[in-house]
Every structure is written in C-alpha cells, then in structure tokens.
Amino acid sequence: MIDAGTRLDLRPPAQVMRLARLGAFHQTRLSFLRAMLRWAKREGWRFDRPVWRIDARGVGVAVYTAQTPDRTYSLVCFGHDLPDALRSDRVIAEAWDATFALYDGVPGEAEIQRLSENVPKQEAGRYQETDLVLSRANRSVRLFEHVVASLAEGEQPDRARVEEVGYLMRTTAVYGNGKFGLADRDLLVGRPEFKNAFRAEMLTVWLIRSFTLDLVEHLARTRAERAVALDPALRRRFGVGNATGLGMAPFLIRHSVLFDRWISAREEALAIVRAIPSATPETIAHFRRVLERGRRSLREWRTVDELQAGRIADLLGDLEKLAEEAARTEPFAQAQPWDAWYVWGESNLSVEGQEYLVTLLLEPHGSQIDFLADRMWADELADFRIEGMVPCGVLMRDIARDYDWAIERDFDAPQAQARFWYVSEEKLEPRLGERASEPGGALEHPLATARDVAALQSDLIEADEDEPVAGFLLRHPEHRHAVRRVQIAKMHPYAEIRENLIGADLRPIDLLRCKLAFFGATRFDPRSDRWVRISLFPGAPFPEELARASEDDWIYAAFAEAGA
C-alpha cells in the first residue's frame, strides 16, 4: 500500500499532451467500456430479451433490456433488408442493415411504433427525452453471410475469417446528448450509472453486439433445420466494429475540461502505481499474464495502414523486450518496482510501446486505481466564466508559461496554417480543408488553438500590463475564446493538446485514436489519415455471462485461445 505521504509524480503535460503520444494510447482498465461492465457486474444488472420479432430476412424488431437496481433501459433494434449497393459506412449514408435506440424504460407497443417511424431514418427522424442514444450498423460483407451460411450447414464458421474481420456488424455512428431531440446529458448526469462520459453509449454498443450474434444464429435456424449455434468460445471472439471519421476529432478540443479529467485519471493511476513501494507475487503474476496474453492478441491485430503496420511491428518488438525483462526476477525486486519499469520503458521502448506499458502497469492494480474510472466526467460550465479582473500582464505570463509551444511558432509560414476545420453544408459534419486550394477558410471553426493564443499574446503586448482583461476584451472580443482556453489550461493542466491543429503535418487520426482508446477500442485499423476502423468488446462476456464472468481481463484474451 502507498503511504499517504507519498508524493505522486505526474507526467508533465509537455510530455503527455503531444499527438505522437496521445495517438499511441491503448485501452486501459479505466476505459469506458470496461468501467461500464465492471459497474454493471458490481450492481448485479439483469438482462432479458422480451421482444424478438425478426423474420427470415432479418427484418423486424427486437428489444433487449438491462435492469439496474433503480431503472430499466431497453435497446430497441430494427433489422432491415438493405441491398448491397446502398451499404456505406460514411456518416452520410441514408440506409443501414440495422438501426438502434437506447430507450429509458421498457417501451410499450405504442412507443415501439413511434420509434419504428423514426429510428430507421436516423438523423432524419426526431426523438424525445425518453430516447437516450441512437445508433446504426452495417453488416460485414466479408463475414456476415459466411457465418450464417456455415451455421445453416451445421458447421462452425472458418476461424481464420472470423479472426480476420472480428465482427459481424460495424456501427457507423453512436449519437447521444440531445442530438435530433434525444435526451440531454443533463438528464443522465444525475444517474450514477451514466454520470461518467459515454457510459450509455457503451451500454448501447454492448447490447448491439448481442443483437448481431443472435441475428446470425436466428437467420441460420430459419434457413435450415440442421443449423447449429455458434460455439460459445468462438462466439465470444466477436466484437462490434466501428468506423469513425473526422466528426469525432473536434470533441477533444471543444471539451477541454472533460478531456483533462480523462487524461488526469489515467496519469494519476500511473502515478499511484509507480509509487507502490514493492510488488506482490500476485501482481507480478498478473502483470506477466496480461503481458503474455497481450503479445498473443497483438499478433492478431490487422491493418491496411502502412504506418500503423510499422508501429505494430515495433510494438511487437517492444513486447519481446518486455517479455525478456519480465522473465527475470530482478526488475520486480527493486524499490518502487513499477516506477523502475516505467523508467526502463522510457529508454528502451517506442512511444507506442511506452504507452502499452502504461496499460500493462495499470492492469494488476485495480483495487488501487479503479475508483478513478468514476471521475471521468466534468461540470464544464464551472470553468466557463472568464475571470476578467486578472491584469493583462498576468495573462501574458500565463500564456508564456503554458503556451510556449504555441507562441514560439511562426504562423506566417504557409504550412503553419495549411489546414482549416469547417462544417460542410452538404453533410453538416466536421471536415478538414486545405486553406490554399479550397474555399471557406473564413468560416473555419475555433480549433486553431495555437494560432489563436499566439494572436492573443501579440495583441496583449499593446495593452497596459495593469489593465483588467475585461477591458481588453471589450476592445478585442475576437480573443474571448482564446482567453477562456488559457484560463482553463491554467486550472486543468491536461486540457490542451499541445499541437498546431491546423498545421500541414497534422494527422487527425491521432485525435481519433486517443479518444477511441479511452472508449476501450482495440485493433485500430486506419483507413486513411482521417478515418479508422476499430473493434469494441471482442472477448467480452455477454449480458447473460456477466454475473459469472471472473476477472475483468477478457480484453487480453487472444483469438487463438478461443475454444482452446
């Protein structure tokens, strides 16, 4: 145990808040989907499937319920018969293989009817406060029919093909927080089970996974009498795919206080583990176990992206080094052994490997750190007010200290402002444009954090040092958003990503990867520098298995172990 007087050394924001590192984050035991399942297990949630009216083509409605000690939530699923030509993962699609709503309570027939008139239309439908989350998914052409056909033949599907794809359907959007009339987050923060960010969304995706597996078994049964169910161990290997594009990226910049809470929780957890004076035999065994299982599951990580493929190769090399080191007893025998591990990693591993090591170091220490998973929410309004009585000179010194990385940059250089973030008229989605060759630069969104703070600083030089910032802002309202960011960053050290987010060298995929790692995603498969596929929940227990599921390290189960 840690002495209460132990000082915890957090990694400095200058080290953590770089995209090269944030974009190398892996899931941890604090990730939202794992935290959601721990919560559901601890509270003894009960699950049921009261409605299953799906026909032989997969068309119809099904309802899954999750009963918490206080409430019941229902995933209402609509199956559709989508011609192959209409299937697209783009957020701009207008038809899907299946559509879903997470409903507050148990819907009666009238509510199912109302939802059936809206949910299949997704963004074009309207929703109300009883409707918490909206989602849709498409079948994997590579795998879905193969699994149905195999089961209908009385055979298990080809394991290599299942491994290659990893999911039957991939979601292409998961909406919450008031979108299209859905319940606002204000409603959910008063409920402990959903207070933390994205918990309702994680429940939705987890129940969607059950629907996809029930669906293939159902379709096989309706096709042939000799159909068999999936082997339970193989069944577990299926996750839910997800295709995510740029739309997710601005979230981390606009919700900087919340982002600080996510990073802080992870960094505090690492600091707690590093401060532990000695390792027990149990934690050493646990560390070695997840390292070994992680190595095996990483070998199954497939990507078409050359850069990511190279990073995976480096990571596998890193894990070899880690395994060699972990086979010795000395590294665990020193004082503060986990700190020594971390320090060793900094000088021996790639950034991707260092961050994977963070994941491994947290793993055996749930009893000391899991409480942090319930602090990954924020009251963002609490930091919204600008403190206008601060003298301009103080603000300038704050900027010089916290934004040295921004104000040192030369924004007159074309490549420093090569990009701009905007919302497209056609699709109403965030996009990234090239300033030199595309119109619309004047309509850019305020994600140019570094440039805007640099511009603020250069105007502050003209102001009287003692003048309150409020007076300066009456003359310069164009700097208000930058002043707010600077004041937030002063209070929340991990709020700001320390990069030029409009630079020519920005890789937006790093923003997506970071956010998805907090969700608990695995098998990142970048499809370009601004579009990524992932898998959620592969290996996870199903609702009916949750109560009996043992340790929460299912996420490290390698495919090769299925049925073994």
Q: Contacts with another protein in 269-298 (CB under 8 A)?
A: none
* 516 binds another protein per the rule CB under 8 A: no
- Smallest distance, another protein to C-beta of residue 158, A: 16
Distance CA 316, CA 299 (A): 8
Of 33, 112, 182, 322, the one binding another protein by CB under 8 A: 182
Instruction: Rule CB under 8 A: say whether 179 interacts with another protein.
Output: yes
CB-count burial class (<10 Å; 0-12, 13-18, 19+) for 100: buried
Q: Which residue of 189, 423, 504, 560 would you call a contact of another protein, by CB under 8 A? A: 423
CB nearer to another protein: pick between 142 and 401: 142
Residue 529 touches another protein, criterion: CB under 8 A: yes
Find the binding residues for another protein in span 89-128 (CB under 8 A): 89-91, 128
Q: 237 to 256, contacts with another protein by CB under 8 A? A: 243, 245-246
At 344, which helix (H) or strand (E)? Answer: helix 337-348
Rounded CA-CA distance 509/529 in Å is 5
x/- mask, another protein, residues 134-173, rule CB under 8 A, reads: ----x-xxx-------------------------------
Kindly tell me which of 210 and 212 has the beta carbon lying closer to another protein. 212
Any contact of residue 183 with another protein (CB under 8 A)?
Answer: yes
Q: Which two tokens stand for residue 239?
A: 């996750």
Could you say whether residue 469 binds another protein (CB under 8 A)? yes
Radius of gyration of the chain (CA): 25
- Specify the length of the chain in residues: 564
Whole-number minimum distance, CB 73 to another protein, in Å? Answer: 19
Q: Which of 107, 353, 508, 543 binds another protein (CB under 8 A)?
A: 508
DSSP 60-125: EEEEEEEE-SS-EEEEEEEE----GGG---STT-S--SEEEEEEES---HHHHHHHHTTGGGGGGS
Contacts of residue 519, Cβ cutoff 8 Å, sequence gap at least 6: 27, 31, 32, 33, 198, 202, 536
Looking at the Cβ atoms of 156 and 177, the one nearer to another protein is: 177
How many residues touch another protein (CB under 8 A)?
A: 72
Residues 337-366 that bind another protein (CB under 8 A): none
Q: Which range touches another protein (CB under 8 A), out of 71-79, 232-240, 427-435, 534-542?
A: 427-435
Q: What is the DSSP string of 517-550?
A: HHHT-EEEEEEETTEEEEEESTTPPPHHHHTT--
What does the H/E/C string look like for 3-49? CCCCCCCCCCHHHHCCHHHHCCCCCCCCCHHHHHHHHHHHCCCEEEE
CA distances (Å), origin 83, targets 58, 86, 91, 150, 258: 13, 6, 18, 21, 41
User: Is there a contact between 85 and 564 (Cβ–Cβ < 8 Å)?
Assistant: no
Can you tell me the distance from the alpha carbon of 27 to that of 554, in angstroms, rounded to the nearest whole number? 12
Question: Does residue 393 bind another protein (CB under 8 A)?
Answer: no
Q: Is 186 in the site for another protein (CB under 8 A)?
A: yes
Of the candidates 140, 136, 141, the residue with the CA atom closest to the CA atom of residue 205: 136
Which span (62-70, 330-338, 364-372, 476-484) binds another protein, by CB under 8 A?
A: 476-484
* Residue among 113 and 128 whose Cβ is closer to another protein: 128
Q: Which is nearer to another protein, 199 or 218 (CB)?
A: 199
Q: Which of 229, 285, 304, 313 binds another protein (CB under 8 A)?
A: 304
Min dist CB 388 to another protein, Å, is 3
